[in-house]
Each structure stands twice: as structure tokens, then as C-alpha cells.
Amino acid sequence: MSQATRSPREPVHDPEGGIARLVEIMARLRDPAGGCPWDLEQDFSTIAPYTIEEAYEVADAIDRQAWSELKGELGDLLFQAVYHARLAEEAGHFAFGDVVRAISDKMVARHPHVFGDESRDKSAAEQTRDWERLKATERGAQGTLDGVATGLPALTRAIKLQNRAARVGFDWPTTGEVIDKIAEEARELTEARDSLGAAEVFEEMGDLLFVAANLARHLQVDPEAALRAANAKFTRRFAAIEAALAARGKRPEDSDLAEMDALWNAAKAAEKAAGKMAGKAAEDAGDTPRPGNT
């Protein structure tokens, strides 16, 4: 049947078709007889990078509070799950319905205080411990660090490895000891830079980053989120440098470090002043009498 003679209510054209419509669209894209040549060439390994990219785009939309974009980004991420499930179905492993069933079963099993007869009178921390206990039971007789995905971003994986080790008592008791360890690793990195080779510098750099992630964990800071925020700040302030230079008829390559450093400090000061003004405005708004708040 040609596209021109297809019914407008055919599943792939039905705007109310829901998830079944998306599953059918994916099946059609992978149809050897009439699917998309690009989609037909893909496999798990070629699609996986797109899956990671889409997850980051969801996080980016949330960080920017770009709610109008979030719907589309979540759809892109959902499509990745449908894509992998279709590849699995073609290989005889499982289908999308099995994916839905597996996650539904897992959520019910891991929330006995919601779907079972356990008490809901627990703190978030207690519920997290229960969650990890149930996960450990599901994993069975595995090593403490087994099952932490190697494909995670390195900082995220470091936190997960450290959390697993901490649950069995392998952890620094205080934040101060972690800070001392950072100083130690920084000294070892300096020694490697001054007297050892590239391989040792590489190793010591990794050690320093690993301990920095541990400090973030002790301070209850998400290191990925903190680094994303630092990246955004650097991007914002460097853009201010470029704008200031452009106003002088220059580009960064026409400038020097001293000039750009001065412009960086000016951008930093302007941001801090704007932050103080915003804080003061919010404070004043909070002080404004409202009905029932006199």
C-alpha cells in the first residue's frame, strides 16, 4: 500500500495512539522491506551513544528549566528505549512489553511501603537504605562493587563505587580526612610532574579526581552537577570576555592573558553584584505584606 493510499487513522498516523504508536513506528523504521536505510544499519553499539546523549539533553533542559523543551527531550529518550527494545526483539532476546513488565515489577518490589504492607513511617534516608538492601538481595552472591556500570560518566561511577564500599565500612569517617587526602594526592601529582613520566602523571591525576569525587560525596554534592555548573559559569564569563573585547574591536586572539584576566574579574564582579541585587529583591518581596501575612 502506498503512502498516498494509507488510512489517516493507521496506527502510525493516529495522534492518540500512545506508546503503541511509537512501538509501531519503530517497527516500521526497522522493516527490511520498506524501512529507513539508516535505521536498518544500526545495532546496540551504534545506538548506545545516542542514548547517552539524549539523557544528557534531558538533564540540560532541566538545568536550564527549559520546560517547553523538556517534553521533546523526554520523548527522544523514550524513543531510545523503544529502539533498543526493538533491536532486542529482532534478536529474540525480549520485546518492549518485557521491558515495561520488568521495570514495573522492580518498582513494586522495591517499594513495599507503598505497594505492600510495610510501614510508610520512614525517613528518606531509611527508605534509601531499604532500597539498597533490596538491590543487594536481587544481585545475590556478587562482589561489593559488581554491577556498577562501566559506561557511566567517570565521576558518577566513582560516587557509586565509593557508596558501595562505604556500605561495608570502607570509608573515611570525616570530611577532614578526605581533604587531607586531596592535599596528599596533589603533592603526589606535583612530584610525578616534576620527576616522573606521563604514565605516572596520568595515574596521579586520576587519583586526585577520584578523591575529589569522594569529597563531593561526603559534602552531599553531586559532582557531575557541580562540574556542569562550573562549565556553565566558565562559558558565561568567557562569553563576557569576548563581548567586552568585541566592543573594543578585538578578538581573544588579539588580546593577551592580562587583559582577558581583567575582563574575567570584571565579569565575575558583575555576576556577584547581580546576584546580590536579585537576593535583595527576593528578600524585599518576601517582606511585602500580603493578605494573611501581616
pLDDT digits (tens, 9 = 90+) for 48-97: 989 989 998 998 899 889 999 999 999 999 999 999 999 999 999 999 99
Q: How many residues would you count in the chain?
A: 294
What's the chain's Rg over C-alpha atoms?
Answer: 26
Tracing cell 562569553 back to the chain, one arrives at 239
| Grid cell digits, residue 83 | 529502539
Distance of CA 99 to the CA centre of its chain: 22
Say whether domain 141-221 belongs to CATH 1.10.287.1080. Answer: yes
d(CA 233, CA 239): 10
Q: What's the CA gap between 287 and 294, in Å, rounded?
A: 9
What average pLDDT is seen over the chain?
A: 87
As given in the structure block, the three cell numbers for residue 208 are: 586526585
Higher pLDDT residue, 20 or 278?
20
pLDDT digits 0-9 by tens, 204-218: 999 999 999 999 999
> What's the CA gap between 42 and 30, in Å, rounded?
9
Q: What is the pLDDT at residue 276?
A: 77
Amino acid at 183: A
Centre a 10 Å sphere on the Cβ of residue 189 and count the other Cβ atoms it contains. Answer: 19
* Superfamily covering domain 3-113: MazG-like (1.10.287.1080)
- pTM value is 0.61
**CA-to-CA distance for 80 and 82, rounded, in angstroms?**
5
Cell representation of residue 115: 505497594
pLDDT at 116: 83
